């Protein structure tokens, strides 16, 4: 399992945006163990400057956050860095919200709680998409 | 301002309040029925009774009037014949007592001769006398020795001097036999002095005559004088010379009419007893009673039927309202439970994710450190955490699915085929449990416009439930058919344990399960319910304990939002 991440020739940069700090930190730690270059921020406001400073390949974005919500963050990302792929992750999200996110440019959505394997699969897929975006 | 009420609406209101206060609906309807029945019978019977009463009294009056007229007519007839009779007697005496016969009649032979002739014509003549101007009877023919008797001072004698012709009342006189006197006064040869011819007539003559003219119309006919003394004998008012007292005026059954007899001191009386036209009146009463009673019976019957229909109608509409209300309450309850459940699921999902990821992290980290004697225990306990999280995840995801407004993807579906596909998944399980699944598919079942995936889930859930209800050994019958022009229906009937009525109310609520703990989430049927509703259909369930349960799914042929 551990070498799944290291199999990637390039280390994939992942930013986890979730107001649930315990979740964000644990997920980041596990992704790091799997060989991803994962970081976490715990609010929508922090997310955009963090992305602007150090653009990741893939963002794992919680939909429902206080103040600046996931969909607004998604729109912000897509406005200045359209190549970055966003995976929507939500404990509250109905399918409709997930679909709305995808309509606004998200790569896919996953409902909490979710297996790490599932997230890794989605991140890898999103990264493939990212690479295609870049090469265009 | 307080609304003014009249006494009538107050009565109605208090009656209604009284009825509506009745404890059980059954008693309420019974009371209402009785009140309505009374009201309707009252409304119909009051005018009927009025009309019948009016007719009764009107006809009675009419009969009385006509009866009285008839009696009066009879009276007039009788009066005329008696007057004629008395007049005849009078004119005979009058004729005999001509002015110039005074001297002649003073002779005994001449008077006897005259008396004999008079008696030939009228048997009633008792005696005959000639009285001079001093009141002394100068000559006399008769059974008594009355010659020379002085009558001056006697009432009849004085009366005769005033009136030319005088008829006396019946009296006993010297003879002690009822008789009356006709007396004619005349001048003696223009001298200014008067002589009198006096004829005594037996009262029996009058009696005979009145008896002869007794008509059918009257029960009694008799003569009284001015003082009410009977001049003839009667059957019920006494004998001759008794005093007649007219019957009580209030006694309606006796009708008495009077007529004075001209030139006599008498009054003729006719009496009719039980005077109303016997037969006419009786038949009228009978007919009136029959008509009244038959109308009453008809009114009762019609009132009863109308009230029954009304009450039945009311009861049905009340029942329908209650059912609709109960249904609305039930689906409201389901909806709010659904909202609550999904709200809880949302909130639980985040902490679940935290537990999951942290447990996962610990696991990942443990894999990287050297194994020690606690490693296997730690692994086991972390696995238990993961399993618990997964179980919760299944529940929350299904709950969210329960309320989820998933897009419905419509296609043309042959429900028969779809059910066959679903049975394909369940064949093995049924076989292991010795459950025989029999299907009766309607061949001309119309295809419906609906969502395949959701329908599959619906039937999977219900049939799964049926299998669980049976356990081992049993039959599941599946039947499809047309419900109405716009709906098809699918019945899934199992020979399972049945659901008791209390549970039946709750089976579509989330987390309601009768299965043992851990075996069912209690979400299957609530999801099924939600899905069927979303597809525009409805789901019914009937169950008999120890016999089985029938789920009926009714689906629209054309999907409408």
Residue B31 forms part of a structural domain: no
Subunit contact B364:A30, Cβ cutoff 8 A: yes
Residue B478 forms part of a structural domain: yes
Closest CA to A121 of A73, A63, A60: A60
Asked whether residue A1 carries a pLDDT value surpassing 70, the answer given is no
Residue B59 forms part of a structural domain: no
User: Cβ neighbours of residue B310 under 8 Å, at least 6 residues apart?
Assistant: B36
Subunit contact A23:B357, Cβ cutoff 8 A: yes
pTM given for the model? 0.43
Q: Which residues of B touch A116 (CB under 8 A)?
A: 357, 360
Nearest CA in chain B to A33: B364
| CATH code, B166 | 3.30.450.20
Question: Order of strands, edge to edge, in the sheet holding B538-544?
Answer: B435-440, B474-484, B487-494, B548-556, B538-544
Residue B380 forms part of a structural domain: no
More confident residue, A51 or A7: A51
**What is the ipTM, given to two decimal places?**
0.82
Ordered structural domains, chain A, with CATH: 3-135 (3.40.50.2300)
**Quick one: tokens of B175?**
């003879």
Residue B416 forms part of a structural domain: yes
Burial grade of B160 (CB within 10 A; 0-12, 13-18, 19 or more)? buried
Subunit contact B360:A94, Cβ cutoff 8 A: no
Tell me how far CA of residue B499 lies from CA of B66, B119, B503, B510, B521, in angstroms: 85, 124, 6, 17, 17
Subunit contact A26:B397, Cβ cutoff 8 A: no
Question: Order of strands, edge to edge, in the sheet holding B125-131?
Answer: B137-141, B125-131, B194-202, B179-187, B165-167
Residue B115 forms part of a structural domain: yes
Subunit contact B353:A91, Cβ cutoff 8 A: yes
For chain B, 561 residues long, give each residue's pLDDT as a single digit of tens.
445 567 778 877 777 777 666 667 777 888 888 888 888 888 888 888 899 899 889 988 888 888 888 888 888 888 888 888 888 888 888 888 776 677 788 888 888 888 888 888 777 888 888 888 888 888 888 887 777 888 777 776 776 666 678 888 888 877 778 888 888 887 776 667 778 888 888 888 888 888 887 666 677 888 888 888 888 888 777 787 778 877 666 666 777 888 888 888 888 888 877 655 667 788 888 998 999 899 889 988 998 999 999 988 988 988 888 888 887 777 667 667 767 777 787 788 888 889 999 999 998 888 888 888 888 888 889 999 988 888 888 778 777 665 554 556 788 889 998 898 888 878 878 888 888 999 999 888 899 988 887 888 888 888 888 888 888 889 999 999 998 888 999 999 998 888 888 888 788 877 777 666 555 566 778 778 888 888 889 998 998 888 889 999 999 998 876
Phi, psi of B475 (to 5 degrees): -130, 140
User: Cβ neighbours of residue B432 under 8 Å, at least 6 residues apart?
Assistant: none
Closest CA to B270 of B222, B235, B233: B222
Final residue before a domain boundary, out of B273, B300, B321? B273
Subunit contact A112:B350, Cβ cutoff 8 A: yes
Q: What is the pLDDT of residues A75-113, one digit of tens each?
A: 999 998 889 999 988 765 556 677 778 888 888 888 888
The whole-number pLDDT of residue A12 equals: 92
Total domains in the fold of chain B: 2
- Domain assignment of residue B194, given as a range: 73-273
Separation CA B234–CA B214 (nearest Å): 11
Subunit contact A113:B349, Cβ cutoff 8 A: yes
Q: Which residues of A touch B346 (CB under 8 A)?
A: 91-92
Q: Which residues of B touch A94 (CB under 8 A)?
A: 400, 404-405
Q: Is B161 part of the contact surface with chain A (CB cutoff 8 Å)? A: no
Final residue before a domain boundary, out of B255, B273, B291? B273
Closest Cα of chain B to A73: distance in Å?
Answer: 19
Torsion angle of alpha carbons B74, B78, B80, B84, nearest 10°? 160
Final residue before a domain boundary, out of B273, B293, B315? B273
Q: Is B350 part of the contact surface with chain A (CB cutoff 8 Å)? A: yes
**Quick one: tokens of A104?**
């606004």
A112, A119, A120: best mutation site toward chain B, by most B Cβ within 10 Å?
A: A112
- What is the overall mean pLDDT for chain A? 84
Subunit contact B361:A29, Cβ cutoff 8 A: yes
Subunit contact A94:B404, Cβ cutoff 8 A: yes
E runs forming strands in A46-98: 58-62, 85-90
The whole-number pLDDT of residue B551 equals: 93
B positions 360-399 inside 8 Å of A (CB): 360-361, 364-365, 367-368, 389, 392-393, 397
Residue B5 forms part of a structural domain: no
């Amino acid at each position: 399992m551990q070498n799944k991440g290291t199999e990637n020739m390039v280390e994939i940069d992942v930013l986890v945006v979730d107001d649930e700090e315990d979740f964000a930190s644990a997920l980041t730690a596990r992704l790091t163990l799997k060989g991803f270059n994962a970081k976490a921020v715990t609010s929508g406001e922090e997310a955009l400057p963090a992305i602007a400073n150090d653009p990741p390949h893939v963002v794992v974005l919680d939909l429902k956050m206080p103040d600046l919500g996931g969909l607004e963050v998604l729109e912000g990302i897509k406005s200045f860095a359209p190549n970055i792929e966003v995976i929507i992750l939500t404990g509250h999200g109905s399918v409709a919200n997930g679909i709305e996110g995808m309509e606004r440019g998200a790569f896919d959505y996953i409902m909490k709680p979710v297996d790490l394997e599932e997230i890794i699969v989605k991140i890898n897929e999103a990264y493939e998409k990212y690479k295609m975006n870049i090469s265009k | 301002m307080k609304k003014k009420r009249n006494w009538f609406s107050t009565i109605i209101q208090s009656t209604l309040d009284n009825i509506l206060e009745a404890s059980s609906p059954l008693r309420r309807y019974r009371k209402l029925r009785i009140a309505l029945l009374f009201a309707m019978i009252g409304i119909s019977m009051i005018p009927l009774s009025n009309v019948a009463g009016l007719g009764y009294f009107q006809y009675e009056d009419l009969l009385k009037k006509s009866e009285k007229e008839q009696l009066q007519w009879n009276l007039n007839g009788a009066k005329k014949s008696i007057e004629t009779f008395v007049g005849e007697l009078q004119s005979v005496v009058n004729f005999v007592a001509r002015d110039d016969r005074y001297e002649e009649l003073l002779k005994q032979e001449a008077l006897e001769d005259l008396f004999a002739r008079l008696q030939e014509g009228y048997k009633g003549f008792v005696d005959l006398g000639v009285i001079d101007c001093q009141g002394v009877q100068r000559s006399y023919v008769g059974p008594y020795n009355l010659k020379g008797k002085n009558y001056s001072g006697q009432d009849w004698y004085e009366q005769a001097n005033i009136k030319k012709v005088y008829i006396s009342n019946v009296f006993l006189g010297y003879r002690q036999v009822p008789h009356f006197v006709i007396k004619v006064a005349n001048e003696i040869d223009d001298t200014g002095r008067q002589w009198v011819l006096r004829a005594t007539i037996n009262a029996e003559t009058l009696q005979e005559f009145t008896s002869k003219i007794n008509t059918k119309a009257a029960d009694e006919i008799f003569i009284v004088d001015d003082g009410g003394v009977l001049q003839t004998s009667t059957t019920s008012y006494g004998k001759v010379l008794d005093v007649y007292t007219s019957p009580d005026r209030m006694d309606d059954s006796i009708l008495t009419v009077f007529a004075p007899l001209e030139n006599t001191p008498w009054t003729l009386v006719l009496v009719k007893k039980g005077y109303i036209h016997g037969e006419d009146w009786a038949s009228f009463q009978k007919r009136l009673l029959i008509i009244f009673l038959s109308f009453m019976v008809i009114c009762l019957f019609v009132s009863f039927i109308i009230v029954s229909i009304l009450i039945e109608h009311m009861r049905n509409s009340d029942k329908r309202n209650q059912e609709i209300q109960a249904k609305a309450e039930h689906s409201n309850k389901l909806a709010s439970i659904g909202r609550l459940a999904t709200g809880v699921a949302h909130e639980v999902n985040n902490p679940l994710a935290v537990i999951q990821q942290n447990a996962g992290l610990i696991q990942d980290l443990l894999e990287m450190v050297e194994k020690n004697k606690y490693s296997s225990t730690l692994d086991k306990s972390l696995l238990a955490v993961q399993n618990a999280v997964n179980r919760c995840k299944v529940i929350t995801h299904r709950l969210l699915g329960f309320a989820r407004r998933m897009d419905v993807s419509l296609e043309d579906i042959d429900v028969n085929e779809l059910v066959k596909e679903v049975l394909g998944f369940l064949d093995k399980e049924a076989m292991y449990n010795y459950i025989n699944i029999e299907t009766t598919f309607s061949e001309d079942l119309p295809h419906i416009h609906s969502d395949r995936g959701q329908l599959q889930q619906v039937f999977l859930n219900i049939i799964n439930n049926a299998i669980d209800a049976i356990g081992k050994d049993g039959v599941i019958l599946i039947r499809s058919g047309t419900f109405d022009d716009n709906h098809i229906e699918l019945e899934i009937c199992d020979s399972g344990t049945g659901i008791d009525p209390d549970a039946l109310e709750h089976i579509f609520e989330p987390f309601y399960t009768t299965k043992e703990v851990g075996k069912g989430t209690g979400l299957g049927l609530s999801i099924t319910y939600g899905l069927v509703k979303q597809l525009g259909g409805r789901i019914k369930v009937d169950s008999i304990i120890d016999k089985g349960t029938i789920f009926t799914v009714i689906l629209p042929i054309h999907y409408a939002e």
